[in-house]
Amino acid sequence: MATAADTWGINEAQFWLRGDHPEQPVKFDPATGLWNVYGYPEAHQILSDPKTFSSDTQRLLPEKVAKNFEAFSEGNLVNMDPPEHGHLRKLVSHAFTPKVVADLEPRIAELAGELLDGVGDRMEMVTDLAYPLPVIVIAELLGVPASDRGLFREWVDAMLNNNVQFTLTDTDEMEKQTAVAVEQVGKLTEYLREHAAERRRKPREDLLTKLVEAEVEGSRLSENQVVNFANVLLIAGHITTTALLGNTVLCLDTNPEQYAKVRADRSLVPAAIEESLRYFSPFALVSRATTEEVELGGQTVPADQLMMLWLAAANRDPRQFTDPDTYDVTRPANPQIAFGRGIHFCLGAPLARLEGRVALNLLLDRFPHLRSDPDDGPTFVPSPSMTAVRRLPLLLTPR
Ligand code: HEM
């Protein structure tokens, strides 16, 4: 039977989005040479133990593929292990504090309001709000012109626009795929390098300047570290939050009783966002490399194996969540791991949650009749490592 997931163009590998469950929580895939981890307790074990499960996954990639990433690894927190990870995280956290984020609320509300002023009796959620809002916020925060967002979109879309699953067994194909992605990231890096150089000469009140000047225990960030970190912020800061905003509206639209509850009681807005993160986890996949042999989910995993940790599947594990395939904004507890967990826990989570709360409240305030267009259904980003609405046409007038 065709499910909604089929008509939305959801990637075939994402079986959990069709309500299916894995045969086992941890499984080696001989076709790709990778270990897939789908279970919640197993994901928890991995994320809590960076010594056994290292984030330096690049050392296990075939040389031809790894060399594509070399230029971007310095300053890329996501792929670093302790103690270097801790030093760099401390330095950048210094510039990206909870206060910096909390102070953005009025500006986020103003921007969301302006974007919604531009719509008529219908809107396309992604183009009209979910894409521009986070990208303008992160661009303004970094201090690069928000008007360049068309360029960022071009580069990032070209990077994401594939539905191929990563594999260790077809090196030529992976080299080709990663070369395309890296070429696009390279354009973003060069763009940011120029802006960072400008801030060194002429400091301003922005995050790029703070990064250039950040100092902890006498050390500063190198030029590559600043640029690569800004790069991670710009990419992570918009594609995932775009997904969160679009996915949350789709979750509410397809679950009318939940939608009615949130409309009736706005204190449920944060819970609606947390549940959307669990149900449609935007950043579906993170990876780790084993440093020694380890028992995981009843399997013995040797050292130097690449683990594909499907956060989105773990967030649907019935051992952790009652009725995992039901979107329920009144779950008594929701320890979803869409932002990861442990030392790499998403640095941007407070910003993503804030943008989600402001945007959803504003949509509910302005459009009491907001619903999806029955004649023009949603589509999803094809990449297996994302869960993200790509297009969601909405009607705004009474039926
Ligand atoms: C790390 C998800 C928004 C910046 C992570 C990780 C996940 C994640 C799963 C952990 C990666 C790992 O363990 O390997 C998300 C989701 C978001 C979101 C689902 C939106 C809904 C943001 C935003 C920013 C951001 C808005 C910045 C403005 C980062 C950074 C890290 C990170 C810098 C690396 C932290 C570290 O390695 O110590 N994110 N993210 N993210 N995220 Fe996010």
Q: Is ligand 1 within 6 A of the CB of residue 286?
A: yes
**Per-residue pLDDT at 66:** 77
Residue nearest to atom 7 of ligand 1 (CA): 339
Cα 370 to averaged position of ligand 1 atoms, centre (Å): 30
Cα 337 to averaged position of ligand 1 atoms, centre (Å): 11
User: Which atom of ligand 1 is closest in space to residue 353's alpha carbon?
Assistant: 21
CA atoms within 13 A on the CB side of 61: 23
Residue nearest to atom 38 of ligand 1 (CA): 344
User: Which atom of ligand 1 is closest in space to residue 141's alpha carbon?
Assistant: 28
Binning pLDDT at 50, 70 and 90, where does residue 160 land?
low
Residue nearest to atom 4 of ligand 1 (CA): 348
Cα 283 to averaged position of ligand 1 atoms, centre (Å): 8
Residue 215 clears pLDDT 80, i.e. is over it: no
Asked if 255 contacts 327 with a C-beta cutoff of 8 angstroms, the reply is yes
**Per-residue pLDDT at 177:** 73
Q: Which of 184-188, 255-259, 353-357 has the lowest mean pLDDT?
A: 184-188
Mean pLDDT score, 103-118: 96
Mean pLDDT score, 166-175: 75
| pLDDT over 70 percentage in the chain | 97
pLDDT tens-digit profile of 358-393?
999 999 999 999 999 999 999 999 888 999 999 999
pTM of the model: 0.94
Q: Is ligand 1 within 6 A of the CB of residue 241?
A: yes
Task: Sort strands 379-380 and 389-391 into parallel, antiparallel or unpaired.
Answer: antiparallel
Q: Is ligand 1 within 6 A of the CB of residue 244?
A: yes
Mean pLDDT score, 165-179: 75
Mean pLDDT score, 219-234: 87
Separation of alpha carbons 248 and 294, rounded Å: 37
User: Which atom of ligand 1 is closest in space to residue 286's alpha carbon?
Assistant: 14
3-state secondary structure at position 179: helix
Cα 240 to averaged position of ligand 1 atoms, centre (Å): 8
Separation of alpha carbons 216 and 91, rounded Å: 6
Binning pLDDT at 50, 70 and 90, where does residue 181 land?
confident
State the amino acid at position 95 in one-letter form.
A
State the amino acid at position 316 in one-letter form.
R
Binning pLDDT at 50, 70 and 90, where does residue 136 land?
very high
Mean pLDDT score, 113-134: 95
| Number of residues that this document lists for the chain | 399
Q: Is ligand 1 within 6 A of the CB of residue 351?
A: yes
Binning pLDDT at 50, 70 and 90, where does residue 184 land?
confident
Residue nearest to atom 33 of ligand 1 (CA): 347
User: Which atom of ligand 1 is closest in space to residue 134's alpha carbon?
Assistant: 26
Q: Is ligand 1 within 6 A of the CB of residue 237?
A: yes
- ipTM, two decimals, is 0.99
Residue nearest to atom 30 of ligand 1 (CA): 347
Separation of alpha carbons 399 and 372, rounded Å: 11
Residue 310: its H or E element: strand 306-310
Mean pLDDT score, 104-132: 96
Separation of alpha carbons 26 and 45, rounded Å: 12
Binning pLDDT at 50, 70 and 90, where does residue 161 land?
low
Cα 77 to averaged position of ligand 1 atoms, centre (Å): 10
Residue 173 clears pLDDT 60, i.e. is over it: yes
Asked if 105 contacts 91 with a C-beta cutoff of 8 angstroms, the reply is no
Mean pLDDT score, 344-370: 97
Q: Is ligand 1 within 6 A of the CB of residue 232?
A: yes
**Per-residue pLDDT at 163:** 58
User: Which atom of ligand 1 is closest in space to residue 343's alpha carbon?
Assistant: 38
Cα 244 to averaged position of ligand 1 atoms, centre (Å): 12
Q: Which of 28-42, 61-75, 179-193, 263-277 has the lowest mean pLDDT?
A: 61-75
Mean pLDDT score, 337-341: 98
Q: Is ligand 1 within 6 A of the CB of residue 385?
A: no
Residue 268 clears pLDDT 90, i.e. is over it: yes
Which one of 306, 339, 346, 355 would you pick to mutate in the ligand 1 pocket, going by the greatest count of ligand atoms within 8 A of its CB? Answer: 346
Binning pLDDT at 50, 70 and 90, where does residue 162 land?
low
Q: Is ligand 1 within 6 A of the CB of residue 78?
A: yes
pLDDT tens-digit profile of 302-334?
999 999 999 999 999 999 999 999 999 999 999
Residue 2 clears pLDDT 70, i.e. is over it: no
Residue 1 clears pLDDT 60, i.e. is over it: no
Task: Sort strands 34-37 and 306-310 into parallel, antiparallel or unpaired.
Answer: parallel
